[in-house]
Amino acid sequence: MDKSQNGLPFSDNASLEDKEGNDNSVTVAVRVRPFGQRELADKAVRRVVSMCGNETTVTSDNGTIHRFAYDFSFWSFDSENGDFAGQELVYNRLAQPLLSRAFEGYNTCLFAYGQTGSGKSYSIMGQGNEKVGIIPRFCKDLFFSAQQARDIKQVKISVEISFVEIYNEKIHDLLGSSKEKSGKKPTLKVREHPELGPYVEGLTTFVVNSFEDVEGWITLGNKSRATAATGMNDKSSRSHSVFTIVLAQTKTEMWEGHDHSITSKINLVDLAGSERQSQAMTISGERLREGANINKSLLTLGIVISLLSEQSAQNGRKKITCIPYRDSNLTWLLKESLGGNSKTTMIATISPANSHIEETLSTLRYPFCVNCIDKL
Ligand SMILES: Nc1ncnc2c1ncn2[C@@H]1O[C@H](COP(=O)(O)OP(=O)(O)OP(=O)(O)O)[C@@H](O)[C@H]1O
């Protein structure tokens, strides 16, 4: 029997609310995409992934069965299947609850994690008008809910966005227009405010008043994202992108005569490909450095999330004091949205094909998972 990741029993798995009504701070979902063009061109292609309920099963060539139980399993392999999970369903299950949490004042983070070409960008951003992903849907719903809150609860609402990429541990503003003499975008630094926590110094932020406003910025940000070709996916993203929404709600209590404000931060993150350097054919020195930095951020993120999950599983009885947020720029920047008063959701994207089984298994074993089982 393959060892369970942390020994927690299967039945401990729960969605946002557990049996006692406590909030789980981390929700984990797996999504399997259809075969891609390259996989279909391979005569020996075989589907090794299946799903049942919230369980994902991967069958190795030698017949070993690996079972993983998470909060959700999304079957996006074939639309003919009755359990097919399209973009809307994935959004409704994973991101919509975060929107409600944000309006309640929680900070939230949603990450897409997986190897290059497994469907992270497809899930987070989508493709064209037909296959709209999580970020545009979230923004559309956000403005709808904001209007309702203004009309019904007389709440003043402001929405501010920013969009950065972290490439090689360097932070670049995807919406800012400033350039260095060399024509390159300047590298920004994370600083820590004693009360407000970490922030990116010099980052451009925009107040947005409608979905149409935000749509323009998303398009611009996507165009700016640094991409580099790898052996596995020509448009492979070698950077993490973090789309941040700051939602500020202010209500004036007439009888008290003063304003109550709550501010929540929502981070929607498309992580860089998680594949190993050898498989991604990362050959030159520059690429090797990239790989090391990508893995450093992903490794730190895994450690941080797993420590926070451990803390949350103990209902706060065990306080872990040394969570290594500052070990990578990604986790440092997201510190306030990962720990404390926050909700985190991970979508692990995987290929269905036998040719990617090792990466699929490593994605499913990523240490974000405190509630998983991998057994014969
Ligand atoms: N659920 C899905 N349904 C249909 N097609 C999908 C799905 N997920 C991914 N694809 C297709 O697979 C290809 C790779 O997906 P995508 O670009 O999202 O991968 P990625 O994980 O973001 O890769 P990278 O790390 O290189 O950015 C795209 O052509 C996309 O259309």
* CATH code, 139: 3.40.850.10
- Rounded Cα–Cα distance for residues 325 and 12 (Å): 27
Of 201, 99, 196, the closest CA to residue 157 belongs to 99
CA of 278 to the centre of ligand 1 (A): 21
pLDDT of the residue at 295: 72
- Rounded Cα–Cα distance for residues 331 and 344 (Å): 13
pLDDT of the residue at 375: 34
Binding-site annotation, residues for ATP? 114-121
Amino acid at 245: I
Residue to mutate (ligand 1; options 30, 33, 111; most atoms within 8 A of CB): 33
Inter-helix orientation angle 134-153/211-224, to 10°: 150
Residue 51 lies in a domain: yes
* Any ligand 1 atom below 6 A from CB of 118: yes
Cα dihedral: 284, 285, 286, 290 (round 10): 100
Give the global pTM: 0.87
* Any ligand 1 atom below 6 A from CB of 274: no
- Active site amino acids: 117, 119-122, 270, 273
Amino acid at 67: R
pLDDT of the residue at 376: 28
Ligand 1 atom 13, closest CA: 117
Query: What is the tally of structural domains in the chain?
Result: 1
For 185, phi and psi rounded to 5 degrees?
-75, 140
pLDDT of the residue at 90: 97
**Whether the complex's predicted ipTM surpasses the cut of 0.95:** yes
Of 298, 248, 229, the closest CA to residue 270 belongs to 298
Residue 123 lies in a domain: yes
Q: Which domain holds residue 299?
A: 2-11+24-364
pLDDT of the residue at 338: 87
pLDDT of the residue at 228: 40
Residue 373 lies in a domain: no
CA distances from 7 to 4, 25, 159, 347, 371 (A): 5, 19, 42, 22, 8
Hey, what are 309's tokens? Answer: 């999950």
- Rounded Cα–Cα distance for residues 120 and 133 (Å): 10
Residue 369 lies in a domain: no
Residue 317 lies in a domain: yes
CA distances from 131 to 90, 138, 195, 289 (A): 12, 14, 40, 34
Q: Which atom of ligand 1 is nearest to the CA of 236?
A: 26
Q: Which atom of ligand 1 is nearest to the CA of 118?
A: 21
- Rounded Cα–Cα distance for residues 87 and 180 (Å): 39
Give the H/E segment covering residue 51: strand 49-52
pLDDT of the residue at 231: 43
Residue 139 lies in a domain: yes
Residue 34 lies in a domain: yes
Identify the segments of the chain with pLDDT beneath 70.
1-25, 182-183, 226-237, 254-257, 276-294, 315-320, 367-376
Residue 303 lies in a domain: yes
